Amino acid sequence: MTPHTSTVLRAEQHQAGGPGRSSWLVPAALVALGTVPVVAGSLRLADLSGAATGMPVDPRYDASPLPVVTHIVCATVFAIVGAFQFAPRLRQRRPAWHRRAGRVLVVAGLGVALSALWLNQFFPRAEASREVLYPLRLAFGTAMVVTIVLGFRAARRRDFTRHRAWMIRSYAIGLVAGTQVLTLGLGARILGTHDVTTALLMAFAWVVNLAVAERAIRTGPRRRRAPERSAQPASP
């Protein structure tokens, strides 16, 4: 273990107040955030396999299911397994698990991004959604590929500060579907459900995710305050 690695690990030992229940709060929140799109994805997969799910019919998916199946399977792995990369105790106690899961996530993340780019290119939505969402999905799908590659390369170079930053960004870009549930749910109540409004609320989810990601990157792993020294008797 290099001195740099041990410093990172020591800093992470204090993340979220050190060992204890709180170190699972971030992964639990991230799993919760991904739940709705992951469940929607499972229903879509059931729908494509012929089960009656009550999902709105989408003839585009029936006509060529492979890209959407790839997208949903990869996104489910990326959202759920990815959340546990943010568990400091798991990283410390099972570094081999973190590395193995990381490799799976690189493949799943690239699968999400590349299938998203395919869907965006060949299953475009009409009018306003297309004008707002098409270029954004193109930009963020590409950004997701780039951030994953940069994060993976940084890990190979053992530059863990950059690895952490790029991987947090890629996860933030990928988990947008979860945040969209919130921006659409709250935003539609206030701003209505016009086509352009809906597209802008979906786009806004990326702004939220990336703002949170940049803050997490800049704040770094939270450190516990050093224990106070025992009080020395005052000098006479």
**Chain residues that interact with ligand HEM, rule: CB under 6 A:** 34, 37-38, 40-41, 44, 58, 68, 71-72, 75, 78-79, 112, 116, 119-120, 123, 125, 137, 140-141, 144, 173-177
Q: Which residues of 128-148 are buried (b: 16+ CB within 10 A; e: fewer)?
A: eeeebbeebbeebbebbbebb
CB of 182 to ligand HEM, least distance (A): 14
Q: Give CA 9 to chain center in angstroms.
A: 22
CB of 122 to ligand HEM, least distance (A): 9
Nearer to ligand HEM, 56 or 227 (CB): 56
Nearer to ligand HEM, 23 or 76 (CB): 76
**DSSP-assigned letter for residue 64:** -
CB of 48 to ligand HEM, least distance (A): 9
Nearer to ligand HEM, 40 or 200 (CB): 40
Nearer to ligand HEM, 24 or 78 (CB): 78
Please give the single-letter amino acid code of residue 99: R
Nearer to ligand HEM, 52 or 190 (CB): 52
CB of 129 to ligand HEM, least distance (A): 8
The enclosing H or E element of 216 equals helix 195-219
Burial of residue 199, with CB atoms counted within 10 A of its CB: 0-12 exposed, 13-18 middle, 19 or more buried: buried
The CA radius of gyration of the chain, in Å to the nearest whole number, is 21
Are residues 170 and 147 in contact, defined by beta-carbon separation less than 8 angstroms?
A: yes
CB of 79 to ligand HEM, least distance (A): 4
